[in-house]
Structure 1
Amino acid sequence: MAAHRKPRHPSAGGGRARKAATLALALAGAATATAFDGTAHAAPELTPAQVKAKVDQLYQEAEAATERYNGAKEQSEKAQDRLAVLQDEAARKEERLNSEREALGTVAAAQYRSGGLDPALQLVLSDDPDAYLDGAALAERAGDRQSATVTRVRKQLGEIERLRGAARVELDSLTTRQAELKRHSTTITDKLDTARDLLTQLTAEERARLTDPGAAPTTVTVAAPNARAAAAVSYARQKLGSPYVWGATGPDAFDCSGLIQAAYGSAGVALPRTTYAQIDTGQRVSRTELRPGDLVFFYSGISHVGLYIGDGQMIHAPNPSSPVRVAPIDQMPFAGATRVV
Structure 2
Amino acid sequence: MVSHRSPRHGTPRRRAPHPGAFGLGVRATAFSAAAGAVAVLTAAPAGAEPGAEESPAALNARVDRLYTEAAQATEEYNATAERVEELRGQVERAQSAAARDQARVNRMRDDLGTLAAAQYRGGEVAPSLALFLSDEPDEYLARAAALDRISSRQAARLREYRHAVRSLEEQRARAGGKLAELGHRREALRRHRAAVQRKLGAAQRLLNRLPSEERAARERASRGTGRPAAPGAGGPSSRASAAVAAVRRAVGSPYAWGQAGPHAFDCSGLTSWAYAQAGVSLPRTSQGQSRAGRRVPREQALPGDLVVYGPDAGHVGMYVGGGQVVHAPHPGARVRYDPVGMMPVAAVVRP
Question: What range describes the TM-score normalised by the shorter chain of this pair?
Answer: 0.7 to 0.9
Q: Look up the equivalent residue of 2:199 and give its one-letter code.
A: K
User: CA 1:41/1:64 → structure 2, altered by over 3 Å: closer, same or farther?
Assistant: closer
Deviation of 1:285 after TM superposition, in Å, equals: 1.4
Deviation of 1:120 after TM superposition, in Å, equals: 4.5
Q: CA contact under 8 A between 2:78 and 2:285: conserved in structure 1?
A: yes
* Residue 62 of structure 2, aligned match among 33, 46, 54: 54
Q: Look up the equivalent residue of 1:82 and give its one-letter code.
A: Q
Q: Look up the equivalent residue of 2:225 and give its one-letter code.
A: A
Structure 1 stretch displaced more, 325-334 or 304-313:
325-334
Partner of 2:234: 224
1:103 aligns with 2:118: no
Q: CA contact under 8 A between 1:83 and 1:167: conserved in structure 2?
A: yes
Mapping for residues 245-264 of structure 1, pairs under 5 Å: 245-264=256-275
Partner of 1:185: 193
Q: 1: CA distance between counterparts of 2:139 and 2:66?
A: 59
1:64 aligns with 2:42: no
Mapping for residues 15-26 of structure 1, pairs under 5 Å: 24-25=5-6
Q: Look up the equivalent residue of 2:68 and give its one-letter code.
A: Q
Mapping for residues 79-228 of structure 1, pairs under 5 Å: 79-115=87-123, 117-124=125-132, 131-132=136-137, 137=142, 140=145, 141-213=149-221, 214-225=224-235, 226-228=237-239
1:2-32: CA deviation from partner (whole Å, max 9, x where unpaired)? xxxxxxxxxxxxxxxx9xx66x35x49xxxx
Deviation of 1:150 after TM superposition, in Å, equals: 1.4
* Residue 331 of structure 1, aligned match among 321, 328, 342: 342
Q: 2: CA distance between counterparts of 1:236 and 1:125?
A: 68
Q: 2: CA distance between counterparts of 1:50 and 1:137?
A: 82
Q: 2: CA distance between counterparts of 1:319 and 1:47?
A: 22
* Residue 316 of structure 1, aligned match among 318, 327, 344: 327
Deviation of 1:183 after TM superposition, in Å, equals: 1.5
Larger relative contact order (C-alpha < 8 A, sep ≥ 6)? 2
1:179-201: CA deviation from partner (whole Å, max 9, x where unpaired)? 22111111111111101111011
Higher helix share: 1
Q: Look up the equivalent residue of 1:324 and give its one-letter code.
A: V
User: CA 1:101/1:229 → structure 2, altered by over 3 Å: closer, same or farther?
Assistant: same
Structure 1 stretch displaced more, 156-165 or 218-227:
218-227
SS of equivalent to 2:234: coil
TM-score by length of 2: 0.80
1:119-152: CA deviation from partner (whole Å, max 9, x where unpaired)? 55333477x7xx4467554564533332232122
When Rg is computed on C-alpha atoms for both structures, the one with the higher figure is 1
1:144-168: CA deviation from partner (whole Å, max 9, x where unpaired)? 3322321221111111111112112
Identity of aligned residues (%): 42
Q: 2: CA distance between counterparts of 1:71 and 1:158?
A: 35
Q: 2: CA distance between counterparts of 1:125 and 1:238?
A: 71
Q: Look up the equivalent residue of 1:299 and give its one-letter code.
A: G
Partner of 1:240: 251
Q: 2: CA distance between counterparts of 1:139 and 1:73?
A: 54
Partner of 2:282: 271
Q: 1: CA distance between counterparts of 2:50 and 2:292?
A: 50
Deviation of 1:80 after TM superposition, in Å, equals: 1.1
Give the count of matched residue pairs: 307
Unaligned ranges ≥5, structure 1: 1-17, 29-38
Q: 2: CA distance between counterparts of 1:83 and 1:149?
A: 30
Structure 1 stretch displaced more, 214-223 or 274-283:
214-223
Q: CA contact under 8 A between 1:294 and 1:308: conserved in structure 2?
A: yes
Deviation of 1:57 after TM superposition, in Å, equals: 0.9
Q: 2: CA distance between counterparts of 1:170 and 1:134?
A: 33
Structure 1 stretch displaced more, 317-326 or 285-294:
285-294
User: CA 1:106/1:242 → structure 2, altered by over 3 Å: closer, same or farther?
Assistant: same
Unaligned ranges ≥5, structure 2: 9-46
Partner of 2:300: 289
Structure 1 stretch displaced more, 45-54 or 219-228:
219-228
User: CA 1:79/1:95 → structure 2, altered by over 3 Å: closer, same or farther?
Assistant: same
User: CA 1:207/1:135 → structure 2, altered by over 3 Å: closer, same or farther?
Assistant: farther
Q: CA contact under 8 A between 1:317 and 1:324: conserved in structure 2?
A: yes
User: CA 1:161/1:139 → structure 2, altered by over 3 Å: closer, same or farther?
Assistant: farther
Q: 2: CA distance between counterparts of 1:41 and 1:232?
A: 46
Q: CA contact under 8 A between 2:229 and 2:320: conserved in structure 1?
A: no
Q: CA contact under 8 A between 1:68 and 1:184: conserved in structure 2?
A: yes
